[in-house]
């Protein structure tokens, strides 16, 4: 691991780091905020997965999480959204595929299968690095994210219910297998057999028997992507039928931007903190 930069913030340290990823076959960048309480011992970890076109930097610069994370004593880990590099295949004309659009799946179709393995990266390789290099209590982990990252958080939590104590999302893509701005990426990453897509779809996972204790979702009612790609009511129906507790807050006047995310960031941090310290 190499340190790119560090800044002192709210008594803690906001850092950006890179490492050579065996899983993704390229150098990967990620951000970590370590609160001042780390001087006294390991702290719980909250993973934030970002959305389409984003890097680690979007939430780090616009999410406004550090003040409360420092107060509560939570490490915040912000990975990148895809592999990157000259030797990594990409589609520069499609912002919904390739660089910045890994969708937190393990691709099975070449040439993408060599690098686009974000599911394994987020669930295996990067956690091992965090456990080794940071004062993290890996017995206390939670996960949240935005849009494509909200999709990633929901699906990863449903597949690892014993690892994460809580899961929340801002404007998640809840059924990417049928959403127009994600289904085409699924086909290019995973092939034409749509049954193989279901393990990366929150609604399908719940219908197929996956369970998690509870979810929190905030969704802007003025989000221009609401009807086309997000459709939280689909997940609400699945959770209701499965008996899974879901708090869905429809926020009037809010859109898909970090103005929306930063407004409700503290609500999510407090919600996760209650469950990470229970």
**Rounded (5°) CA angle 94-97-100:** 105
Is-contact 219 251, C-beta < 8 A?
yes
Measuring CA to CA, which residue among 246, 229, 244 is closest to residue 175? 229
Is 178 exposed, middle or buried (CB count within 10 Å of its CB: 0-12, 13-18, 19+)? middle
Is-contact 188 82, C-beta < 8 A?
no
245 is catalytic: no
- Per the structure block, which two tokens stand in for 188? 């290019």
| Catalytic pick among 142, 147, 166, 183 | 147
Is-contact 176 95, C-beta < 8 A?
no
| Catalytic pick among 99, 168, 223, 272 | 223
147 is catalytic: yes
10 is catalytic: no
| Catalytic pick among 56, 146, 151, 256 | 256
**Active-site residue list:** 147, 223, 256
């Amino acid at each position: 691991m190499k340190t790119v930069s560090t800044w002192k913030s709210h008594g803690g340290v906001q850092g950006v780091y890179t490492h050579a990823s065996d899983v993704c076959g390229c150098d990967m960048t990620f951000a970590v905020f370590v609160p001042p309480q780390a001087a006294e011992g390991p702290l719980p970890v909250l993973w934030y997965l970002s959305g389409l076109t984003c890097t680690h930097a979007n939430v780090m610069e616009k999410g406004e999480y550090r003040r409360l994370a420092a107060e509560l004593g939570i490490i915040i880990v912000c990975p990148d959204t895809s592999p990157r590099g000259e030797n990594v295949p990409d589609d520069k004309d499609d912002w919904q595929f390739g660089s910045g659009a890994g969708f937190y799946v393990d691709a099975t179709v070449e040439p993408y299968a060599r690098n686009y393995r974000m599911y394994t990266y987020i669930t295996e390789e990067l956690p091992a690095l965090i456990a080794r290099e940071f004062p993290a209590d890996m017995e206390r982990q939670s996960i949240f994210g935005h849009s494509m990252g909200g999709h990633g958080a929901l699906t990863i939590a449903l597949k690892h219910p014993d690892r994460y104590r809580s899961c929340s999302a801002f404007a998640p893509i809840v059924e990417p297998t049928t959403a127009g701005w994600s289904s085409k990426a699924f086909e290019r990453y995973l092939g034409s057999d749509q049954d193989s897509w279901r393990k990366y779809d929150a609604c399908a996972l719940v219908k197929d028997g996956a369970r998690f204790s509870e979810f929190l979702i905030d969704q802007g009612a003025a989000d221009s992507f609401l009807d086309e790609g997000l459709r939280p009511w689909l997940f609400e129906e699945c959770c209701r039928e499965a008996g899974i507790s879901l708090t869905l807050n429809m926020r009037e006047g809010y859109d898909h931007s970090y103005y929306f995310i930063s407004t409700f960031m503290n609500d999510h941090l407090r919600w996760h903190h209650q469950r990470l310290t229970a």
